[in-house]
Amino acid sequence: MVGYGNRPGWAPAALMAVGAPLAGMALIVAKAALVAYGPSALAGNWAGSALLFVMMMAGYALLVFTQLRYENVLVFFGAFLLLVIGASMVAGAVSDQALHERGRTTACTVQKVDRREVTSTDGDGNTTTDVYYDHDLACAEPRVRTMTTRSKVADRGERVQVVYDPRDRLDPRPAGSVGDPGTSLKRGAALFGGGVLLRVLFELDVPPFRPGTGFRLGRLRRRRRRRSVRVRPPSP
């Protein structure tokens, strides 16, 4: 890449702008493909689960931590959202494709619904609470007994159509939630490509995405540090 003065050479810039996000998405999509289509040895044991977890975390880490290079606020937040959402949609398209190929639908009656909250804390002390709904089911297909969703699907006694994987590789889900894999793939790839483009524009010094223009995250950090110094109480 050219035209950015004292910025590093084109090879490191291309690696950060294009190589890192592509490698991250490759890991995320590979994890989804292994879950849906991989060898059965990866399922149902701690070693396989650990490998899949590490692949997913490494993929998202490549997307998230390399984003710290881009202090221009438009690029930082814009590329972050586009890359993460795009990669997630592409990975979701893999799961949807597997269910379209081999998924089956069964009629179920909801026996009980439990609301569950999971709270996590990141390295900065920020807490995030995710809500899950665990549905106990009585289905025409006896192997389908439970289903966990991010929103309440039905109340006790109501009937719902559930898609399940005969290979038990993918979790059951409401039939209406299985999207078109082709559409998800195209939209996810478009969003992901937009995130990469924002990074490239930063590296090429294209305004208003160039470094040193507009509102910068580094400036915000310095202001916060100065503000914390001003309000610090005097020592006794």
Does the structure show a pLDDT above 70 at 230?
A: no
Q: What is the DSSP letter of 49?
A: H
Residues whose CB is less than 8 angstroms from the CB of residue 79 and which lie 6 or more positions away in sequence, other chains included:
67, 70, 195, 196, 198, 199
CB 28 within 8 A of CB 94: no
pTM: 0.78
Q: Which alpha helices (H) appear in 38-180, and where do they start and end?
A: 46-65, 73-102
Does the structure show a pLDDT above 90 at 1?
A: no
- Give residue 42's pLDDT: 77
Q: What is the tens place of the pLDDT at every residue in 204-228?
A: 988 888 876 544 555 444 444 444 4
- Give residue 122's pLDDT: 67
- Give residue 212's pLDDT: 65
- Give residue 126's pLDDT: 73
Q: What is the mean pLDDT of residues 61-84?
A: 93
CB 208 within 8 A of CB 214: yes
Q: What is the mean pLDDT of residues 95-119?
A: 94
Task: Kindly tell me the sign of the dihedral angle through the C-alpha atoms of 64, 92, 118, 153.
Answer: positive
